[in-house]
Amino acid sequence: MAPKMDSATKFLIFLGKSLFALLETLTFTLIPKPRKNVAGEIILVTGAGSGLGRLLALKFARLRAVLVLWDVNEEGNEETRRMAQDEGATRAYAYTCDCSRKEEVYRLADQVKKEVGDVSILINNAGIVTGRKFLNCPDELMEKSFDVNFKAHLWTYKAFLPAMIANDHGHLVCISSSAGLIGVNGLADYCASKFAAFGFAESIFMELFAQKITGIKTTIVCPFFIKTGMFEGCTTGCPSLLPILEPEYAVRKIVDAILQEKTYLCIPRFIYFMMFLKSILPIKMGLLLAEYMGIFSVMNGFTGKKKNSG
């Protein structure tokens, strides 16, 4: 049996490694990390039929990836496939998939493995929002929020993670939300599902780290409102610090984070500071600040996406 390391040695090793990690982070802050090459990688995007999913697919198409596009909206998804092919994707495949249905996810995952190959970058992006206050929200809608925004991530990980582990190569991307970090009134089911998605992705990240699996990266994305129509009618009380984001800007930041293998991405940056304030401010001050910034009224004008708005 190997002799046990004494606590002083253990502490010194910890200190040395921490210093190295800090220096590495500082270096990459000054000189951005080289971007990884995704040409030929098989990238699956859920919710690719519109909004961020479509724009992500098009960005990766320009980087010559092989795209697997899933959406419950067949027409929108097929349109994304055509656009991705035109933009230069090595190959692009569209599958109609309701990600909230476990059996459908597993069946299509098998089909993808046979027809395309092992997915190496999985982007869990499909999402829905009810936009109703908790007591006015029918149970089925709340369940649906969880099924799409969170549980679908369980099934896609179950389907695609084993091959990533076997190849020691892969990237898991979770599109959560700033509403997955901070509770918002009028958005309880959405927030809960996004907190769950965040917690799940972070836990698997830890699980892989603990097992010393280094070839699989994780990126968890937490954006504020983006102009895709999903949160149509919502406002910001503080546009200078919390602007409603342009989809192209959000997607550029997300793709950069994936290519630079960043674990967390909050956009705008002020979200990081809000998290810091949340953990240090007395709750009464936090509430006053939230009130001052108009956080309690962001959902007041919510209308959401109109049907067939793409």
What are the catalytic residues? 190
Collapsing DSSP to helix, strand or coil, 47 comes out as: coil
Nearer to ligand NAD, 10 or 158 (CB): 158
Among 42, 97, 112, 173, binds ligand NAD (CB under 6 A): 97
Per-residue contact string for residues 177-196; x = within reach of ligand NAD by CB under 6 A: x-------------------
Q: Are 290 and 281 in contact (CB under 8 A)?
A: no
Residues 6+ positions from 193 with CB-CB distance below 8 Å: 145, 146, 148, 149, 150
Residue closer to ligand NAD by CB (options 51, 268) is 51
**Which of 60, 67, 127, 184 touches ligand NAD by CB under 6 A?**
127
Return the bridge partners of 91, or none: 66
Residues 264-303, mask of contacts with ligand NAD (x by CB under 6 A): ----------------------------------------
Backbone torsion region of residue 21, taken as left when φ is above 0, otherwise alpha when ψ lies between -120 and 50, otherwise beta: alpha
Strands (E), 25-96: 42-46, 66-71, 91-96
**Quick check: helix, strand or coil at residue 277?**
helix
Place of tokens 């080289």: 34
CB closer to ligand NAD, 80 vs 120: 80
We find the least distance from the C-beta atom of residue 25 to ligand NAD, in angstroms, to be: 26
Backbone φ and ψ for 122, nearest 5 degrees, come out as -110, 120
Contact segment (CB under 6 A) with ligand NAD among 81-89, 107-115, 153-161, 220-228 equals 220-228
Which residues contact ligand NAD by CB under 6 A? 46-47, 49-53, 70-73, 76, 97-100, 125-128, 148, 175, 177, 223, 225-226, 228-231, 305
